[in-house]
Amino acid sequence: MKTVSENTCFGGVQGVYTHTSKSCACDMTFGLFLPEEATYGPVPVLWYLSGLTCTHENAMVKAGAQGWAAEQGIALIFPDTSPRGEDVADDEAYDLGKGAGFYVNATQDPWKRHFQMWDYLAEELPALVADNFALDMERQAITGHSMGGHGALTLAMSLPGRFVSVSAFAPIAHPTASDWGRKQFAAYLGADDSTWTPHDSTLLMRDRGFDGPVLIDQGADDQFFDLLKPESLAGAMAARRQDGTFRMQKGYDHSYFFVSTFMEDHVGFHAEALHE
């Protein structure tokens, strides 16, 4: 692992690091904010997964999360959204290939060599940060935006006991029924749509739910509303009587202006669960 940069931030340190990933067969980059409390011992962890076209950097510089995390004594991890490198497969469309890993393990060519984002986030990166930083991996929570909200929800419901809470900003909520999902799953996972269902948060909510609190914020003026299908997830949460809150935010779109507006709420929501 190599240090790209470290900057003092709200009394803590915002770092950027690279490492050679076995899962993705390339060099990967991630951001990590450590609050001042990490100087004295391990701190709880909040993962933030980003959306289409993003890198580790978007949320790190736009979401305004570090100040709220510093107040709560929580670390923030900002992974990348896909493998990177000249030999990594890509597509001309913005919603497939680099910047659009969809947090799955690809099984189809030309994607399967590098696009193993599920294993990277479920196994490899957690082990790496646990070995190198003052993190309490017994206290983890996860959030994300758009494609990252999809990833946060599917990881949380598929790894019982890993995360104490999960939240999402405008998640891709029902990808097996949306062009933001069907296209990518067909490319990465193949035509058999039975392999897609483990990566659909609406279907997972119907089938198993989450064993902790859930918070979803959705902009009512989101320009991608029809692709996100938030009503499907809201209905599944209600039918399951999931411990959670779904909020429709009038006037807000899909941008980081929306995310940053409600970031304090999300960090506070996770802090309550992480500090119990």
- Residue 272, pLDDT score: 98
* pLDDT of 276 higher than 90: no
Q: Identify the active-site residue in 222, 232, 266, 270.
A: 222
Query: What is the pTM assigned to this prediction?
Result: 0.98
pLDDT tens-digit map of 53-70: 999 999 999 999 999 999
Residues 6+ apart with CB under 8 A from 174: 181, 200, 201, 202, 203, 229, 232, 233
* pLDDT of 184 higher than 90: yes
Annotated catalytic residue 50 = no
The CATH T-level fold of domain 2-274 is Rossmann fold (3.40.50)
* pLDDT of 111 higher than 90: yes
Of 59, 201, 75, the C-alpha closest to 134 is 75
Q: Identify the active-site residue in 23, 146, 178, 232.
A: 146
Tell me the residue ranges of DSSP E strands in 50-152.
Answer: 75-79, 135-144
DSSP H or E run through 269:
helix 256-274
pLDDT tens-digit map of 189-232: 999 999 999 999 999 999 999 999 999 999 999 999 999 999 99
Annotated catalytic residue 207 = no
Alpha carbon 99 to its chain centroid, in Å, reads 13
- Residue 146, pLDDT score: 98
